[in-house]
Homo-oligomer: A and B are copies of this chain.
Amino acid sequence: QVVIHFDSISPIDGKALISCEFLLLGFGLLESGCVSLKNEVNIMMKNVIDIVFGGITYWLFGFGLTYGKLYSNPFFAIGYFAVDADLDEMGPVFSTFLFQLSFATTATTIVSGAMAERCNFRAYCLFSLCNTIVYCVPAGWIWGSHGFLNTLGAIDIGGSGAVHLVGGSSAFVAAWMLGPRLGRYDHGNEPLPMGSPTNALLGLFMLWWGWLAFSSGSVFGVSGHKWKFSARAAVTTINASFGGGVVGLIYSYIRKKGKFDILDLISAVLGSLVSVTGGCAIYRPWEAIVIGAIGGGLACFGIPFFDWLRIDDPVGATSVHVIGPFCTTGLSAFWGVLAIGLFADGETLLSLTKGRAGLFKGGNAYLLGVQTLAAVSFSLWAGFITFLLLWIINKFIPIRMEAHEELLGADLVEHGIRRSGVGVSRALSALGSH
């Protein structure tokens, strides 16, 4: 990741960045397909907000929190306010900015899924402005040259920790603070029907390809041997999704007695992608299948678990993005980040691991220990700051929509879009009886 390549960044990178944005588009579509029809537009709008508001604050101070040179201590940096660069720095600074910007907006987007269908739009806008801080500080820990995790030797190539664990922890806290949707658990834990399964699957496809670009782009550069690791990262990424997909299909086949549930499969594939991306370039292909299968399994079992906790997350974002039991002890320990401590190749060519190897590769427990510290730090930071932000925002604008607004749907209430077949009249009568 960036700490490694900042000064050896290469001309080719710019092209890869754009494909990364597919992640965001994929999340947008997936979320829009998962929510009910009356909130479909609203959640796409929230993704637009993530880019516009999240982007502005990232440009203003976020990038500087991660890479700033004016001042730094092991926990944060300061500098690069309103990012600009002169000719000699222009290439690496702007390339890194674009790549990290897509990471930052992805971390925010994950949260929008967990808050879907019941979060006030204005409150969300405010949250989107502030959320930069949730991502940028821990990104500096692991990727900034000042960061304590970086100094200790923790590894996170494609963002399992700094992007997806951070995003998932935020999502968990946000979903918990908002509470479940009205009537969500009135009839047991079975999920509410998806508005558009086709869009959700289309989103999955986009995420899939976006992730390939993301992972291989994380080891970007053509100089020397980098491109080989980039190809390897793509192979491990796709292989992990094979493992996750198979687990998802089996899980769904058993749970639904012979039927194949869309959401189970989507969760499993996403779970596998999230779990492999942190160490994508330093796994062997067959290990990636194992890692992805475990990651996918955790994502599947996470859904009923969180439902049992009565935390309502329409897109399953919490379980997908936490992958590994950030908030519970039942699920295996922060799988995505920890796996690096187990499976990392101790290759010496790019020195991605600074010569250290995972426990299963002849290394000692040091790397595993550092990775555990990283996972704990990411989760606690993201959970706590998200709580703080939403708690403060809630003082000014109630983060939960009014009951009647929720029943009418955000598309109508926030954007004036009325569509037939959504059952607003039914919602209104339900409101009367509530």
Which residues of A are interface residues toward B (Cβ below 8 A)?
Answer: 11-19, 21-22, 24-25, 28-29, 32, 40-41, 44-45, 47-49, 51-53, 55-56, 59, 82-84, 87, 90-91, 94-95, 97-98, 101, 121, 125, 193-194, 196-199, 201-202, 204-206, 208-209, 212-213, 216, 222, 225-232, 234-235, 238-239, 241-242, 245-246, 249, 256, 259-262, 265, 269, 284-286, 289, 347, 349, 411, 414-418, 420-421
Beyond A18-B19, A21-B212, A416-B261, whether A201 also contacts B48 by CB under 8 A is: yes
- Chain B residues with CB under 8 Å of A125's CB are 249
| Beta-carbon contact of B201 and A235 below 8 Å | no
| Beta-carbon contact of A11 and B222 below 8 Å | yes
Given A83-B285, A125-B249, 20 other A-B residues pairs in contact with their CB atoms under 8 A? A13-B227, A14-B216, A14-B227, A14-B231, A15-B216, A18-B212, A18-B213, A18-B216, A21-B209, A28-B202, A28-B205, A41-B198, A44-B201, A51-B241, A52-B246, A55-B238, A56-B289, A91-B231, A97-B235, A197-B411
- Chain B residues with CB under 8 Å of A285's CB are 59, 82-84
A234 to B16, CA, bound (A): 12
| Beta-carbon contact of A286 and B82 below 8 Å | yes
| Beta-carbon contact of B98 and A235 below 8 Å | yes
Which listed residue, B17, B226, B239, touches A234 by the CB 8 Å rule? Answer: B17
| Beta-carbon contact of A94 and B415 below 8 Å | no
Which listed residue, B12, B29, B202, B235, touches A15 by the CB 8 Å rule? Answer: B12
A87 to B229, CA, bound (A): 9
A44 to B201, CA, bound (A): 7
**Cross-chain pairs A/B with CB under 8 angstroms, 6 sampled:** A14-B227, A22-B209, A55-B238, A56-B242, A90-B231, A261-B415
Candidate in A12, A16, A52, A421 with the most chain B CB atoms within 10 angstroms: A52
Which listed residue, B49, B204, B262, touches A415 by the CB 8 Å rule? Answer: B262
A347 to B59, CA, bound (A): 23
| Beta-carbon contact of B235 and A45 below 8 Å | no
